[in-house]
Structure 1
Amino acid sequence: MAEAKHDAGAFDIRNIIGLLLTIYGVILTLMGLFADPETEKTGGTNANLYAGIALLVVGLGFIAWARLRPIKVPEHVEPVADDPTRPAPKKRPRSGH
């Protein structure tokens, strides 16, 4: 019997990173188009516009990557009884109570 799996969906870190980069990209692109470009500070280029476009491309790339190759999460994962590669939990010092 095949193990049931579902997509990570909104909890996929690529969606979160892509959304944040896209939001910042939209803000910077709008600032580059409609605000004072202040080109004397950047050597004649509109830094907000170019950075905003780059962030839009990268952010939308992350979102496309998550949609095209979703991470499959198993429905049920057995707890690990003894795994020598996992460090043991730290013991808390007992209080004097």
Structure 2
Amino acid sequence: MPVEKKPGAFDIRIVIAALIGIYGVVLTILGVIADPAEVDKADGLNINLWGGIGMLVFTAVFVLWARLRPIAVPVSTNE
């Protein structure tokens, strides 16, 4: 009978979520400390803030997906 092993931190969804999360945090911080003159250039929409929040939501969904439906890698026990 094959044994199943979970990939854990090496799941590609976790790696992608970490990268998008880092960019999301940076954009959110830039959006919070944004100069009002720069926000006015974008017709009053703080693009960095909303883009960062969107990336953080995407990160949360990916991590939730990876935790709720982990990939099971079959490991053969042939000797």
Distance 2:3 2:70 in 1: 15
- For 1:59-80, what per-residue CA distance to the aligned partner results, in whole angstroms no more than 9, with x for missing partners? 11101110111000012399xx
Count of matched residue pairs: 77
Partner of 2:9: 10
Long gaps (5+) in structure 1: 79-97
Partner of 2:65: 65
Partner of 1:26: 25
- Per the normalisation by structure 1, the TM-score is 0.72
Q: Say which structure is richer in helix.
A: 2
Change (3 A) 1:43 1:77: farther
Distance 2:59 2:28 in 1: 13
Higher relative contact order (CA 8 A, sep 6+): 2
- For 1:28-63, what per-residue CA distance to the aligned partner results, in whole angstroms no more than 9, with x for missing partners? 111111232511221111000000000000011101
* % identity of equivalent residues: 49
- Per the normalisation by structure 2, the TM-score is 0.87
Long gaps (5+) in structure 2: none
- Segments ≥4 residues shifted beyond 2 Å: none
Partner of 2:49: 49
Structure whose CA Rg is larger: 1
